Every structure is written in C-alpha cells, then in structure tokens.
Amino acid sequence: MLKKRIFAKAVAADVHAGMGDTALMEKYDLNAKQLERVLRRMVDAGLIDHMQLYERTRLSDSLITRLFLDRWRASRELD
C-alpha cells in the first residue's frame, strides 16, 4: 500500500483556522479513519491540543446525531 505524505504543520494550520473534517478529508484525500489517525498523531506531536481534538469530536458527534434524527423524521413523514 502506498503511503501518503501529509505535512502536519499545514493540517494543523487548517485545524486552527476551523476547517471541518469533511474539508480536511477532501483537501488531503483522507478517509475518516486516516483523518482520525492524523489528528491523534498531531496531538501526540503537540501541534494541536487535546481540547481541540475533543471539540472536533463533540461537534462531529452532534452533527451525526442531528443528521440521524433528520433522516428518522423524514422517514416517519413518508409513512
């Protein structure tokens, strides 16, 4: 498998600028698992802190929950 070369400082700058997961995955051609690995390595390297990672996770979880509820409501309306 070919490894991708990602420049952590560029990713860190994008994270600090508030870029979301989807935009990061598109920009750096990553899937969700790869992005998670990159972000955790950046925490280990001190490029982003644990709070920034936590905030991203919390935001992602709430977004997923909201999308799930929207889908559930839409399917209920069709019944």
- 3 within some domain: no
> In sequence order, what DSSP letters do the residues of the chain get, joined into one string?
-PPPP--HHHHHHHHHTT--HHHHHHHHT--HHHHHHHHHHHHHHTSS-HHHHHHHHHHHHHHHHHHHHHHHHHHHHH-
Flag whether 41 is in a domain.
yes
The pLDDT value recorded for residue 58 is 55
CB 15 within 8 A of CB 52: yes
Check whether 19 has a pLDDT greater than 60: yes
Cα Rg of the chain, angstroms? 15
pTM above 0.75, yes or no: no
pLDDT tens-digit readout, 26-47: 999 988 888 888 988 898 999 9
Please count the structural domains in the chain. 1
**Does any domain span residue 21?**
yes
Domain range holding 55?
8-78
Judge whether 13 lies within some domain.
yes
